[in-house]
Amino acid sequence: MVGSSNIIEIRNLSKIYGDGVEVRALDDVNVDIRKGEFLSIIGPSGSGKSTLLHMVGILDTPSSGTITIDGRVVTDMSEKERSKTRNEMLGFIFQYHHLMPDFSALENVMIPLLISGMSRSKAKADASKLLEEVGLGDRMDHRPNQLSGGQAQRVAIARALVNHPSIVIGDEPTGNLDSKSSDMIYELLRKLNHDRQQTFILVTHDDQMAKKTDRIIRIIDGKIANDE
C-alpha cells in the first residue's frame, strides 16, 4: 500500500570506480520512494542496480550526492550511525538465504532479536509468531538442510522482518528458486507489504517478477532509464 510521503529521497547520486580508467556505476541518480511502496529495480548485469541497492541499504558510500532515509541524511553519517540506522530501519533478503546451518529455523530468526538485546523468551515468542505468519509453524525446529529452497527463503524473510524494519530490501529474492516457489515467495512478500505497511524494494533481472510490483525503476548504464 502506497503512503503519501517519501521514506527515501535520492539526490544527484553517483558512484565512480577505478583508478585511471573511470567507471560510473551510478550517474546522477534522482529517485523518491514512498512509505509502504512495493517496487522493483530492474536492469541488465552491470547496469548499476546492485550498486544502487548497496547505497540504499547503507552498505556502501557514494562518490557524490545524498540519500535521505526517513528524514535522515545517511550519506553524512559516521560508520557507527550508519550501522545503527541499518539495524533499526532495514531488513535484507538475499538470493541465497544465508541461514546458519547448525541452527534451527526458529533460532535463525531469533538471532537479530538477541543481538539487539531482547530477552531469549521474548525473542522466541516473536520469532515463533513470525514463522507462523510465513507458513512455517510446523518447521520451526528444522535446520536449513531439512527445508526446501522455498521454505529456507521464507525463514530468511522472517529473519529480515523480525525487527520490524521500515524498509525491506530484496536482492534477487527469488533468483535461486523454481517458478512455483518463486511465485509463492512473491505472493508472501506482497501480503507482508499489504499487512505490515512496510516499504519493499526488490532488485531483480526478472521482467515477469518486476511486472507484478506496483512500480518499476529501470537502470541502464548507471542512469534511470525509465520509472513507471
Here the CATH number for the domain that contains residue 33 is: 3.40.50.300
Q: Where are the alpha helices (DSSP H) in 13-148?
A: 49-56, 79-89, 105-115, 120-133
Query: What is the reported pLDDT for 175?
Result: 67
pLDDT exceeds 70 at position 177: no
At 195 the three-state DSSP class reads helix
Residues 6+ apart with CB under 8 A from 4: 34, 35
Cβ atoms 144, 101 nearer than 8 A: yes
Count of domains for the chain: 1
Displacement of CA 88 from its chain's centroid (Å) = 13
Question: Smallest Cα–Cα separation from 94: which of 182, 170, 40, 205?
Answer: 170
* Residue 151 falls inside a structural domain: yes
Please give the mean pLDDT across all residues of the chain: 85
Residue 203 within any structural domain of the chain: yes
Higher pLDDT, 3 or 69: 69
Q: What is the pLDDT of residue 1?
A: 41
Q: Quickly count helices (H) and strands (E) in the chain.
A: 7, 10
Distances (CA, A) of 19 to 22, 23, 25, 60, 104: 7, 9, 14, 18, 45
User: 127 in a domain, yes or no?
Assistant: yes
Cα→Cα distances 79→13, 135, 219, 228, Å: 19, 36, 28, 34
Has residue 1 been placed in a domain? no
Confidence of residue 96 (pLDDT cuts 50, 70, 90): low
Residue-wise pLDDT for 206-227, tens only, equals 787 788 889 999 999 888 888 8
Q: Is 33 left (phi over 0), alpha (psi -120 to 50) or beta?
A: beta
How much is the CA Rg of the chain, to the nearest whole Å? 18
The pLDDT tens digits for 118-150 are 899 999 999 998 898 888 888 899 998 898 888
The model's pTM is 0.84
Q: Which of 69-78, 175-184, 188-197 has the lowest mean pLDDT?
A: 175-184
pLDDT tens sequence across 37-90: 999 998 888 888 888 888 999 988 899 999 999 988 998 888 888 888 888 889
Q: Structural domain of residue 179, as residue ranges? A: 6-227
